[in-house]
Amino acid sequence: MRIILLGAPGAGKGTQAQILAFKYNIPKLSTGDMLREAIRSGSPIGKEVETIMNAGNLVSDETMIRIIEDRIKYSDCENGFILDGFPRTIPQAEALQGLLNKLQIKDLIVLFLNVKEDELVKRISGRYSCKNCGMGYHKVYNVPKVPGVCDVCSGKEFMFRSDDNEELVKKRLDIYNKQTAPLVCYYKEKNKLISIDGMQPIDQITYSIEQKIQDLVNK
Ligand code: AMP
């Protein structure tokens, strides 16, 4: 099963990707996480992208396509993967399609998490994640069951993203509207788009996604 999670920053892609990866036992490929890790490790790609990310801009299509091409070849992707944050532009979507054609993969599921813009801003300001496993939380909407302890891995250290500040959030939403939102039409025209009401509570969103996937599998 190959899943693309489409949606604006703050739509809940990372949260759902994490849950679905666990449920379907396939890896979550978050390009944002991969880039943040590259920056932390000081790798050449990390050095190349740090200023771009800190300014809230998109990394070049060429770099992103190379990263995803390399990652999809890993053996853990043989039975599927969940893409969180890729593709983000039409050229990235086209490159991904070329790659899937080459690998003779036809089972692509595109899920669009639809969330209103004022809700996105509320969600982004206040979100944080477990330093160990990356599980996402929110100060108000999604706190760990035991305060200060990650539900998934029992980790006790958490982190905020440096690009989740008010000024950059507006810029990232603007870039999303200009460069990524056209992908909704792109996949709709290909009859691939499954729209999910991303305003629902987290477990309801997961349930809606699972129902849609089940419908596709039963077709
Ligand atoms: P995210 O964690 O998905 O919100 O991504 C954080 C940042 O990483 C973005 O604001 C971009 O700078 C960069 N990034 C992640 N994925 C992509 C992509 N597919 N194309 C270009 N830039 C990306």
- Output the pTM of the full model: 0.92
Centre of ligand 1 from the C-alpha of residue 139, in Å: 23
What are the tokens at 118? Answer: 């004022």
Which position among 2, 13, 36, 123 bears the catalytic label?
Answer: 13
pLDDT string in tens for the chain (219-residue length): 999 999 999 999 999 999 999 999 999 999 999 999 999 999 999 999 999 999 999 999 999 999 999 999 999 999 999 999 999 999 999 999 999 999 999 889 999 999 999 899 888 988 999 999 888 899 988 899 999 999 999 999 999 988 888 888 899 999 999 999 999 999 999 999 999 999 999 999 999 999 999 998 887
Give SS3 for 108. Answer: strand
Task: Compute how many other C-beta atoms are within 10 angstroms of the C-beta atom of residue 137.
Answer: 17
* Residue 30 contacts residue 84 (beta carbons within 8 Å): yes
Q: Which residues lie closer than 8 Å to 41 by C-beta, 6 or more apart?
A: none
**Whole-number Cα distances in Å, 91 to 17, 27, 65, 98:** 23, 24, 9, 11
* Residue 1 contacts residue 80 (beta carbons within 8 Å): yes
Query: DSSP assignment, residue 35?
Result: H
**Whole-number Cα distances in Å, 69 to 88, 103, 153:** 15, 11, 29
Centre of ligand 1 from the C-alpha of residue 24, in Å: 24
Tokens 């692509």, residue? 108
* Residue 24 contacts residue 35 (beta carbons within 8 Å): no
Instruction: Enumerate residues lining ligand 1, CB below 6 A.
Output: 9, 31-32, 35, 52-53, 56-59, 64, 85-86, 88, 92, 163, 172
